[in-house]
Amino acid sequence: MSDQYDITPRVIIARHGQTDWARVGRFTGTTDIELTQKGIGQISTAAATLVGAGKLLDPRRLTHIYVSPRTRAVETFKLLLPQYSDFVPGKVTFTEDIAEWDYGNYEGLKDMEIRNLRKMRGLDGEREWNIWTDGCEDGESSQQVTERLDKLILQIKEIQKPYMRGEKPADVLVVAHGLILRAFAKRWINWSIDRDLPMEIQPGGIAVLSYKDNDTNKPTLNLGLALP
């Protein structure tokens, strides 16, 4: 049997590098903020280590790239793949579908500040606030996030479906933000956003999603990859 990891299209997800707000735990959704010097270093190191011919992220295998339009994500994309730093029609899409969760009234706050604010307003008497279930006041609900992610996932599957047995390289890269990428991973495996799946992706981190048995109806999380 063929080694499916050599031929099955993958979705490579990359979180932007550190920002000043991310460094101190502030919820950063719609606010446009640049990478810190450390964040630039994180992405530069990832690019040198993981990007290139025969490496985890091989530009020759990319058929499409989706990038959040927020500055921190765009900077990350340009550092990872400088050869695509100019918009490439048909190859790169900057889309709000993979922008960070809109935190509404919670923008710029820390987790405990949000919880205290809600309790001052008489909320969460029976249970603690959970963004996956409750969403954000004057921001996005989990249903709204689900709808836009599902639209993007459908596009990706349509792109990759004709090439599930290696007819041509068809990897897709998604460059975005911490919370939305965790939500993306849940929706990728058809889990509801409010279903508990403890996971983390660090600033500058890269992870891989794919399919089992070369089948778009069997999306998977790759827990480990064999090196080329």
Catalytic annotation on 16?
Answer: yes
Cα 120 to Cα 210: distance, rounded to the nearest angstrom: 44
36 Cα distance to chain centroid: 19
Length of the chain: 228
CB atoms within 10 A of CB 206: 21
CB atoms within 10 A of CB 211: 22
**Choice among 34, 64, 75, 100 that is catalytic:** 100
**Choice among 16, 64, 75, 177 that is catalytic:** 16
Fill in the DSSP letter of residue 168: S
Catalytic annotation on 100?
Answer: yes
Residue 62 dihedral angles phi and psi, to the nearest 5°: -80, 130
Pure H helices in 35-194: 37-50, 71-80, 111-120, 131-134, 142-160, 178-188
- The catalytic residue positions are 16, 100
